[in-house]
Amino acid sequence: MTDAPSSVSPDDSSPDDPSAEAAPSEDPPPPTTSRAPAVEFLPAEPEPAETVAARPSAPPRPQFLPPVTEPPAQDVVAPNVPPAPVPRGKRRLLIAGAAGVAAVAILGGAAWAVSGSSGGEPKEERYTSFPAACATVTKPTLDQFVPRAEAPVGDKSGSKEHSWCLWTGPMRAQPGSKRVVYRTARVDIVAYENIASAKSAYDSAWRTAVSFSGSNSTIGGGKLVGDASEPINGLGDQAYYYHRTSTTALGRSGESGETIRVRNLILTVTLNGFNAPADELGTPAPKGQTPLDTATARPGADALAHDAVNALNACSTCRHRV
């Protein structure tokens, strides 16, 4: 029977035991490092995505380099497929339709060229100047209707808006005559900024003339009677005739006048006067004065008006398109 080995306790070891003394003299094991030796020769495993994302990004590009631009997108070109043939009937309709569109486009361009090429409102031809009023009546007219007229008296200011002229005959009978034939003629020309303004002024004057027809007015102790007012055709752009009779302390006189619009100008011509018996001195007698009536004075007013309108029409350098 084999005896069981006896276990020796550390407390039972004696200092004389050689094995107990030799143990402390053994070399200590080499220190171990933090990295396992097997990693040095084993193949590297793929790194997890978290590790890759945690790596620092590439350093920023230097400021002096041009920015990186994305290449332009390339247009997708459809394959060159020939169109299907169009039937002959439909082809004619397509050609006619295209021609109609082209015609509308051309007409639209032409309408723009006519109405819109000026860049604003259409310009109108109007008078920017006009002859002096004293130069608008011919000598034959004056000799006939204002006999023995003295030198005219007119506006000397050189105004560009208004010009007037007055011719006066002597208030005395001719030698050997027992009657006094007294006449005065006057022409006024007023310029307006445009044709519309002249039309407005003419319309206002016409309404005033109509309101005077058949009326009796007291002016400065005298009496003014409006005898007739009527439009005139074929003279200037617009025209009308009027006749008035006045009675004052100096006697009675009649006046025939015509107002005419020529573009942006308003002309007013008048022929005024009376007939009277002459006294011993050849001057008008206190009684018996006969004012000019329409039958006597209107031919003279017509002649003055036609002379003035012809003078304006003859001045081609006075009109400009502005």
Tens of pLDDT, residues 108-134: 332 222 233 344 566 899 999 999 999
| pLDDT in the model for residue 215 | 81
From first to last of its 322 residues, the chain has per-residue pLDDT tens of: 444 444 434 444 444 444 444 444 444 454 444 444 444 444 545 555 554 444 555 444 444 444 444 545 454 444 444 445 544 444 433 333 333 333 333 333 322 222 333 445 668 999 999 999 999 999 999 999 999 999 999 986 667 899 999 999 999 999 889 999 999 999 999 999 999 999 999 999 999 999 988 888 887 778 889 888 999 999 999 999 999 999 888 789 999 999 999 999 999 999 999 999 999 999 999 888 999 999 999 999 999 999 999 999 999 999 999 8
Q: Which residue, among 204, 211, 241, 247, has the nearest Cα to 226 in the 3D structure?
A: 211
Phi and psi torsions of 95, nearest 5°? -65, -45
For the beta carbon of residue 70, count every other beta carbon within 10 angstroms: 5
- With a pLDDT cut of 90, the percent of the chain lying above it is 50
> Which amino acid belongs to residue 117?
S
Q: Distance between alpha carbon 292 and the CA centroid of its chain, in Å?
A: 50
| pLDDT in the model for residue 214 | 82
Which DSSP symbol is given to 31? P
> What's the pTM value of the predicted model, to 2 decimals?
0.62
Q: How far is CA 246 from CA 120, 180, 290, 295, in A?
A: 50, 18, 11, 17
Q: Which residues pair with 284 in a beta bridge?
A: 278
Helix or strand holding residue 110 (H, E)? helix 88-115
Which DSSP symbol is given to 87? P
Q: Which residue, among 259, 249, 244, 258, has the nearest Cα to 291 in the 3D structure?
A: 244
